[in-house]
Every structure is written in structure tokens, then in C-alpha cells.
Copies of this chain bind each other. A is one copy, B any other.
């Protein structure tokens, strides 16, 4: 016999044990429910595509990070590194079969070969949602509303969506006569939260000189009131600036919904990515701001330019599922990992195995999740196992109970037993203990 191969994972990759996977699954189900409440529909795309298609518009940084190889047929293929590029390809390819405005969500894994750091992995799960083919305040507001509802559905109440407008910043750069440097400037401003004000200032100054740097730093400086922030922006760009008007309309919608306190107008938000052209946003959870945005997105005037000559504008957002899990863990608010099993049936007498399965089926048909144990251990050992699994109740049947067609119910929390119950009586008792 050969000696065993050491079981191990590649650096930057993780297994999800039940305690983590239960939480992740419950999170994605809640998000899916919110998307469905708003009329978004799911799609899926392959993990592997032609490398040429995935790299279409991207620069060298992406090419270094992407997992790419030649397949058995000699084709250069790659694993997707986000869900946006495949979505753009999907839209261009299936356009005639889709109903526009097209509202889709997509929750799936992506892969990046970057150097793994704390909270960064080479395989992670993204959750994207977009409205494509609608350019209106209503669509902008809805995307932000979906962000709010998503976090609330996850019982995260204390969060802020930082909102800005790429068009407004571009107008401002034009007024300074430096519109041609906008890409570099946007990237520097985008990094400012990470690299700090001094480094931002010096790097900007090297690019456009100290005077214009001061103007930009003033423009992006934080104002602690949405009304004042919008007023300041209008003061600089003009009362009739359409981008400021758009932000005002979105804000009015959130006021009407009684949700204005979730928005923060913050001109330092730019989103480094090239394809955003209008409203952009990032979301921070109170107490974990340092972990970065957990949901970001914005409006683009054309998502499909790489694959089609026709335009498709839209707005979308992306929840970093794994980063959000890390944030919830950081806040110490990770929900209980316990499974969903409510009742265990221990093995008192192996000859009753068939009856245990029958009893379990009766209880399942009442809506309970029921685990039948398979091995006859001491009853105390089976109770310990059930408690390790977080199962709150047991239904116990030995030979004597079976003869008299009764069962015993045990509530593990209070360690109380209820004997001599008929099955219908046991069901009532279990519903009481489990509060269902």
C-alpha cells in the first residue's frame, strides 16, 4: 500500500465546514429573497471562458491575476475573475432573447491569483445585481434600495451607503482644465481612503500641481450633512448641473421612503473601474469601516462595448459575500452555526430501526427536520452527540414505549422529559418546545 497523500489545500483557498457553510448559505438565500422581492431574476454563466473574452478590456494587472491555461484543444481559456465581464458578454450574446429592462442577479464564485492576505482569498463568492436598459432616477434609487433591504434582511441595521457621481467629478475636473487626467485622478481619489490624505495629496500634486490638488481635496472633502454636501456640490458646479440634480432626485426618493439616513453624499467615492460613468456608491458597516466597502457599484453608460456595437446602459451593485462574512465575524455577530435539525430519534433498540424511520417520516410530514441516529450507543452518548449537533429535542422510543404505542419527548435545553405521549400528543409538545 502506498503511503497516504497529505490532505491539504492550495494557499489562498478554503474549505467551508458546516458551521461556516450554513451561515453563508443562509446569507445568500436571504439576498436571493430580497432580489426576488424586487423582480430580479437569476442567471448563470460558465466558470471557464475564452481568455480573450474575459480579458477583453482589462489591463495588465488583471492579466497577471487571472487563472489562465491552454485546454486539451489548445485553446487559451481562463477562470472568470468577476461576474461583470461575463455578464457583459452574456448581454451581447443573448440580447434578442432577453426582456429589457433586464434585472438580473448572479451569485457565484470568482478566482484571482493575487497574493492572499488577511480576509483576501484566491477563490471567493460574489453577488451581483443589475438593472440594464433603464436610465432613470427610479432605477438608481431602486439599486440603492435593494442594498438597504439586503443589509436589513441580514439584520445589519447600522450601515451607510456612500454615494457620489462620476459625471459631477468629471465636470469639476473639466472646469479645472484637467479632464484629460481624469482616469489617473479618479484612481488616486479612489485609493485615498487606503493611502491617507498626505500620500493622496503628494501624489496628486506630482500629477497636476499643488493648486489644483488643493481644489480637488476641497471638492472631495467630507461634509457631515447630505443637504450641505449637495449644496456645496451645486455651489461649485452650478445650480443647474444635471448630475447634482440627479443626486438630489435620488435623495428625495429616499427621504420619501424614510430611508435618507442610510445615504451619505461623499464626493471621495469614485470607484476606480473605468466603466462607471454616473452615480457610484460604496457601503460601509458601522464598526467595520476599516474592512472596506461590502457592497459597491454604480451606473455605466455602456457595459457591452467590448462585444457589441450597440450600447446598453445600466446600474448595478455587487455584494462581497466573503468579505461581508468576515465583517459580521469581526463584529462578533456571526449567527449561530447550528444546523436546522429540530428533533433527533436515538437508537434505544436496534430492532426498532424501521419504526424510527417511520416515526421520523411522520414528524417530517408535520414540517419538522428530523435526524434518525443509526448506531446503538449508550443513550447518554447519543444525547451528547445530539447536543454537539445543536439539536434541541429528542423523541425516544424503547421496546416498552413501542408496545404501548407511546413515545417520550426530551427538551435538551431544560433537560426535561415528557413521558407516555401518543404521537399526536408528542407533536403538540414538540411544537410548543420549538415554538413553531
Interface residues of A (CB under 8 A from B): 1, 4-11, 13-18, 21-22, 24-25, 32, 36-39, 41-50, 52-53, 56, 64, 67, 69-73, 75, 77, 79, 89-90, 92-94, 97-99, 101, 103-104, 109, 111, 113, 122-123, 131, 134, 136-139, 141-142, 145, 149, 252-253, 256-257, 305-309, 339-341, 344, 347, 350, 353-358, 360-361, 364, 368-375, 385, 388-389, 391
Contact = CB atoms under 8 A, between A and B. Distances in A.
A7 B93 contact: yes
6 contacts: A14-B46, A38-B371, A48-B123, A131-B374, A145-B361, A257-B358
A233 B165 CA distance: 76
Which 5 pairs between the two chains have the least Cβ-Cβ distance? A39-B371, A69-B69, A18-B41, A16-B44, A7-B93
A274 to B, nearest CB: 14
A34 to B, nearest CB: 9
Given A48-B79, A257-B361, 7 more contacts: A5-B307, A14-B46, A38-B370, A67-B71, A99-B385, A101-B374, A136-B375
A374 B134 contact: yes
A391 B391 CA distance: 40
A77 B123 CA distance: 14
Nearest to A91: B7
A409 to B, nearest CB: 17
Given A4-B307, A306-B5, A142 B374 contact: yes
A302 B396 CA distance: 31
A138 B341 contact: no
Contact of A4 (B14, B21, B306): B306
Contacts of A18: 41-43, 104
A410 B99 CA distance: 21
A233 to B, nearest CB: 21
A283 B37 CA distance: 36
Contact of A93 (B15, B309, B341, B375): B15
A345 to B, nearest CB: 10
A contact face: mostly helix, strand, loop, or mixed: mixed
Nearest to A388: B99
Protomer copies: 2
Contacts of A9: 46, 49-50, 93
A123 B46 contact: yes
Nearest to A67: B71
Contact of A113 (B42, B71, B137, B139): B71
A353 B253 contact: yes
Interface centre among A48, A90, A350 (most CB of B within 10 A): A48
A252 B354 contact: yes
B13 A41 contact: no
A146 to B, nearest CB: 11
A21 B43 contact: yes
A48 B111 contact: yes
A92 B39 contact: no
Given A136-B374, A252-B354, A389 B99 contact: yes
A99 B341 CA distance: 14
A264 to B, nearest CB: 20
B357 A142 contact: yes
Nearest to A355: B256
B374 A256 contact: no
Given A17-B97, A257-B361, A339 B374 contact: no
Nearest to A108: B109
Contacts of A1: 305
A47 B108 CA distance: 12
Contacts of A136: 350, 353, 374-375
A228 B314 CA distance: 66
Contact of A42 (B11, B22, B36): B22
A47 B141 contact: no
